[in-house]
């Protein structure tokens, strides 16, 4: 019996080192090594190339080493009967929340304006006030809910939206109440999973419906946004700024106009990272539940796609 790791080189090395420390009794396969393919029972994956699990004929479990599973589900060569589970880690929620707070507070406290006055050695004591913000968290799943609660606890006015009804400490909307949600906010934080329903959701039509201008923070997936529409909305002042961690194509192309746009802040898909130790603990636990025939924790619904 072997576990496999299929991921781009940087996380692979970290996960391998960590896995070998925690589970030295389980040999690993890195990539789709055909010498041992038949022995692989569990694949830990992140952004696996299409078809790369095909040679694992005895695969019993696929484990997503990140919060999103869109990269797994887009691989139509994966047999339907193999359960897919994902890591759900409070440490990931902590770092995602901190990232969102950083983006929100920099906007709320006009940090970029102060930075620009510092560059000019200008003492702008009374020129910028706290911006009144009404924050909308679009997607109150595990990560979005944690961030929304923290923002609410800080005393901000927050509303949330999700597909299904959720019990929340702040007003929240679901299903066909999207319009009501979107029309009242001036900071839009996007934490939705990527599915056919959320593809291109952050588009010009949506930006027109927001309170103007709205500040956009996207930490979900690049294909949830239409980048040319973001630029158009920024240039028309429908959006006051955009803080983006994800992009339609990653790495972001050198010639993307987003890089130099004065109202755009860019980070390279780092809002929340996978912590190898906890992910390894969870994959081992999950596999042992499977072996015992117990219900699996954090199993992905192929229908919902998250």
Which residues bind to ligand GLV, rule: CB under 6 A? 66-68, 274
Catalytic positions are 221, 269
DSSP 8-state class, residue 54: T
Burial of 248 (0-12, 13-18, 19+ CB in 10 A): middle
For ligand GLV, which is the closer residue by CB, 186 or 225? 225
CA distances 98 to 8, 19, 58, 148, Å, are: 25, 27, 40, 11
Instruction: Judge if the upstream peptide bond of residue 288 is cis by omega within 30 degrees of 0.
Output: no
Measured between alpha carbons, how far is 213 from 263 in angstroms, rounded to an integer? 12
For ligand GLV, which is the closer residue by CB, 78 or 233? 78
For ligand GLV, which is the closer residue by CB, 133 or 201? 201
Measured between alpha carbons, how far is 253 from 227 in angstroms, rounded to an integer? 12
CB of residue 244 to ligand GLV, shortest distance in Å? 13
Edge-to-edge order in the sheet of strand 28-30: 28-30, 2-6, 40-45, 61-64, 84-86
Instruction: Point out the residue whose Cβ comes nearest to ligand GLV.
Output: 66
Helix (H) or strand (E) holding 15: helix 9-22
CB of residue 88 to ligand GLV, shortest distance in Å? 10
CB of residue 274 to ligand GLV, shortest distance in Å? 6
> Cα 106 from chain centroid?
20
CB of residue 43 to ligand GLV, shortest distance in Å? 16
CB of residue 168 to ligand GLV, shortest distance in Å? 23
For ligand GLV, which is the closer residue by CB, 207 or 276? 276
For ligand GLV, which is the closer residue by CB, 67 or 138? 67
């Amino acid at each position: 019996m072997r576990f496999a790791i299929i991921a781009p080189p940087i996380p692979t090395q970290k996960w391998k080192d960590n896995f070998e420390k925690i589970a030295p009794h389980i040999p690993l396969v890195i990539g789709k090594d055909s010498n041992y393919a038949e022995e692989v029972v569990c694949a830990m994956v992140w952004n696996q190339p299409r078809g790369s699990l095909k040679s694992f004929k005895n695969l019993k479990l696929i484990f997503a080493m990140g919060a999103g599973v869109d990269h797994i589900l887009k691989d139509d060569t994966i047999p339907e009967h193999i359960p897919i589970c994902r890591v759900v880690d409070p440490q990931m929620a902590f770092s995602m929340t901190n990232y969102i707070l950083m983006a929100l507070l920099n906007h709320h406290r006009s940090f970029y304006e102060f930075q620009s006055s510092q560059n000019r050695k200008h003492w702008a004591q009374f020129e910028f006030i706290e911006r009144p913000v009404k924050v909308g968290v679009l997607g109150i799943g595990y990560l979005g809910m944690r961030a929304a609660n923290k923002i609410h606890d800080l005393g901000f006015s927050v509303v949330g939206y999700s597909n299904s009804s959720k019990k929340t400490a702040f007003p929240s909307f679901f299903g066909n109440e999207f319009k009501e949600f979107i029309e009242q906010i001036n900071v839009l934080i996007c934490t939705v999973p990527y599915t056919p329903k959320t593809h291109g959701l952050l588009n010009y039509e949506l930006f027109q419906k927001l309170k103007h201008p709205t500040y956009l923070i996207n930490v979900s997936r690049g294909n949830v946004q239409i980048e040319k529409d973001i630029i158009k909305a920024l240039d028309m002042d429908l959006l006051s700024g955009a803080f983006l961690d994800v992009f339609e194509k990653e790495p972001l192309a050198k010639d993307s106009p987003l890089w130099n746009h004065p109202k755009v802040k860019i980070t390279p898909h780092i809002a929340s990272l996978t912590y190898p130790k906890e992910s390894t603990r969870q994959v081992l636990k999950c596999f042992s539940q499977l072996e015992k025939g117990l219900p699996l924790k954090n199993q992905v619904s192929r229908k919902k796609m998250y």
